[in-house]
Amino acid sequence: MHSDPAAIKKSIRTYLMVGAALFAGTGITVAANQVHLAIPLAITVALIIATIKGSMVAGVFMHLSHEKKWIYGALLLTVAFFVVLMSIPLLTTLDHIGTPNAAPAAATEHPGH
Amino acid sequence: MHNAILHRPSCTGHFALQTIMNIPYTVEERPDTGLANGKLGIWLFLASEVMLFGALFSTYIILRVGAPEWPHGELSVKLGMINTFILIASSVTMVMAWASLKLHDFAKHRLYLLATFVLAGIFLVNKYFEYSDHLSRGEGPWHSTFLAIYFTLTGLHGLHIVGGMVVMAYFLGPGAKMWKKYPEQFTNRIEYTGLYWHFVDLVWIFLFPVLYLL
């Protein structure tokens, strides 16, 4: 973290520029939504813009671009758990509880074989 | 670190030995982590917040993928966009409040912190109008799966806004006294408040497209 006034004054310019970029990013997100893209493409575009904006907030406003390794370590662990959490919806698609089993049905169709 | 051993009369009249210790590493960095305790503490708290909101985002995905159809255009994009602009502006004023302290300009710091507080209030007023519009039409969380997850996610986010406003009000009021006695510790406290506030902004950056646009 910077402490000398010159570095802080320089950072202030960066904060204002990032603020302007975040405003622009929000405008682009809404504009892209007006184009009526296909849903998978619209989701991808919106999430990419949101991720870029989120990275700017975390990197510049939260000073993550120059933090200590303990904080990176804690966040890396969080990311790992977050990925597991987000994978849970995918795992539900592998769940076949309640779906009819095809094999016995095929057997009853041709009992003689 | 200042330690002091004081002899004070206890309630029974006897003298009791008390050790008064200041909380260590509020300003100076710990030799093992290279961080002040508060900094690591707020980041660990934010990590738990990531999991809290992550669980709800995960729920949203499950509900949306499993739904036969998903409503579009139920929410006012205009109000959502205005609220996004408000929160981004509040993030800028918050980081400026901290930078002003680093430049030893307390008057400017108060101005920026007050601006952040007011912007947070405007965000909540907008949210009130949005909620009351839905509720007046009988569209509460019970109305549909979409509105259930919408009210849950934005309600939890709104509570975080209220929490941030309480902390800011404290630093605008009685908490501001610390600046005179312990300016560095006060600056650190504002930095931690800012980290929390930027996180709240970051969550909204994802909530806006997910709920209002997609």
- Residue B139: both structure tokens together: 């569209």
For residue B18, give the 3-state DSSP assignment. strand
Residue type, B64: R
Report d(CA B92, CA B98) in Å as an integer.
Answer: 10
Task: Look at A15 and B99 and tell me if their CB atoms are within 8 Å.
Answer: yes
B67 touches chain A (CB under 8 A): no
pLDDT digit string, tens, across residues B79-120:
999 999 999 999 999 999 999 999 999 999 999 999 999 999
Q: What is the pLDDT of residue A43?
A: 84
How distant is the Cα of A107 from the closest Cα of chain B, in angstroms? 31
Residues of chain B with pLDDT > 70: what percent? 90
Global pTM?
A: 0.86
CA neighbor of B208 nearest in space, from B43, B86, B117: B86
Q: In this structure, are residues B87 and B201 in contact, taking their beta carbons and an 8 Å threshold?
A: yes
pLDDT band, residue A67 (cuts 50/70/90) = confident
Does residue A93 carry a pLDDT above 60?
yes
- Hey, which residues does B15 pair with through a beta bridge? B9
CA neighbor of B134 nearest in space, from B49, B76, B187: B76
Using CB atoms, pick whichever of A39, A78, A88 lies closest to residue B47. A78
Using CB atoms, pick whichever of B44, B62, B92 lies closest to residue A16. B92
In angstroms, what CA-CA distances link A41 with A34, A36, A38, B206?
Answer: 13, 10, 5, 17
Which helix (H) or strand (E) covers residue B9, if one does?
Answer: strand B3-9
Interface of B with A in 173-192 (CB under 8 A): none
Using CB atoms, pick whichever of B51, B91, B102 lies closest to residue A82. B51
Task: Look at B209 and A15 and tell me if their CB atoms are within 8 Å.
Answer: no
ipTM of model: 0.85
Residue type, A52: I
Task: Look at A3 and B102 and tell me if their CB atoms are within 8 Å.
Answer: yes
Output the DSSP codes for B132-164. Answer: HHHHHTT--TTS-HHHHHHHHHHHHHHHHHHHH
Residues with Cβ within 8 Å of residue A29, at least 6 apart in sequence: A46, A49, A50, B208, B209, B213
Interface of B with A in 75-134 (CB under 8 A): 77, 81, 84-85, 88-89, 91-92, 94-96, 99, 102-103
Does residue B18 carry a pLDDT above 80?
no
Q: Domain ranges in chain A?
A: 5-109
Does residue B176 carry a pLDDT above 60?
yes
Q: What is the pLDDT of residue B7?
A: 45
SS (H, E, C) A53-88: HHHHHHHHHCCHHHCCHHHHHHHHHHHHHHHHHHHH
Between B14 and A62, residue with greater pLDDT? A62
Report d(CA A28, CA A50) in Å as an integer.
Answer: 10
Q: What is the pLDDT of residue B73?
A: 82
Average pLDDT, chain B: 89
Task: Look at A42 and B213 and tell me if their CB atoms are within 8 Å.
Answer: yes
List b or e across B115-132, with b for residues whose CB sees 16 or more CB atoms inside 10 angstroms: bbbebbeebeebbeebbe
Task: Look at A50 and B51 and tell me if their CB atoms are within 8 Å.
Answer: no
Report d(CA B80, CA B211) in Å as an integer.
Answer: 9
Does residue A104 carry a pLDDT above 70?
no
How distant is the Cα of A109 from the closest Cα of chain B, in angstroms? 31
How distant is the Cα of A101 from the closest Cα of chain B, in angstroms? 21
Report d(CA B114, CA B111) in Å as an integer.
Answer: 5
- Hey, which residues does B21 pair with through a beta bridge? B3
Between B106 and B5, residue with greater pLDDT? B106
Interface of A with B in 59-88 (CB under 8 A): 61-62, 68-71, 74-75, 77-78, 81-82, 85-86, 88
Task: Look at B209 and A49 and tell me if their CB atoms are within 8 Å.
Answer: yes
Report d(CA B156, CA B158) in Å as an integer.
Answer: 5
CA neighbor of B112 nearest in space, from B85, B139, B92, B132: B92
A5 touches chain B (CB under 8 A): yes
DSSP tally for chain A: helices H, then strands E = 4, 0
Task: Please compute Rg for chain A using Cα positions.
Answer: 25
Task: Look at B92 and A50 and tell me if their CB atoms are within 8 Å.
Answer: no
Which architecture characterizes domain B42-213 according to CATH? Up-down Bundle (1.20)
Q: Domain ranges in chain B?
A: 42-213
How distant is the Cα of A102 from the closest Cα of chain B, in angstroms? 22
pLDDT band, residue B155 (cuts 50/70/90) = very high
CA neighbor of B212 nearest in space, from B57, B37, B77, B47: B77
